[in-house]
Structure 1
Amino acid sequence: MGRLLKLLAFLLVVGFVLLVGFAYLGDLTPEQSDVSTPVTLDVD
């Protein structure tokens, strides 16, 4: 049972380190571009 708790603690620490590393190094900013669509208005 102790080995299982050690493994779980180890996985939690590794997961936290990877999450922090991804937060600092991961660049997920979307590419931005202007979108324009012409609109025809039928006004009588």
Structure 2
Amino acid sequence: MWRLIKLLVFLTALAAIGLIGYAYLGPIFTPDDFAPPVEQVVEPIVLEAN
């Protein structure tokens, strides 16, 4: 039972390290995954002047 708990703790720590590494190193190696979608939005604005 203790081996299973140690394995789960190890896998959780490994997953956390992987997620942190992806967050910090991901934009360097795969910038397209982290780029925001670019779309031009044009909306008319009506100003009421008195």
TM-score bin, normalised by smaller chain: 0.5 to 0.7
TM-score, normalising length from structure 1?
A: 0.63
Q: Which has the higher helix share?
A: 2
Identity of aligned residues (%): 44
Structure 2 unaligned segments of length 5 or more: list them: 28-33, 41-50
Based on CA coordinates, which of the two structures has the bigger radius of gyration? 1
The number of aligned residues is: 37
Please report the RMSD computed on the Cα atoms of aligned residues, expressed in angstroms: 1.7
Structure 1 unaligned segments of length 5 or more: list them: 35-44
TM-score, normalising length from structure 2?
A: 0.57
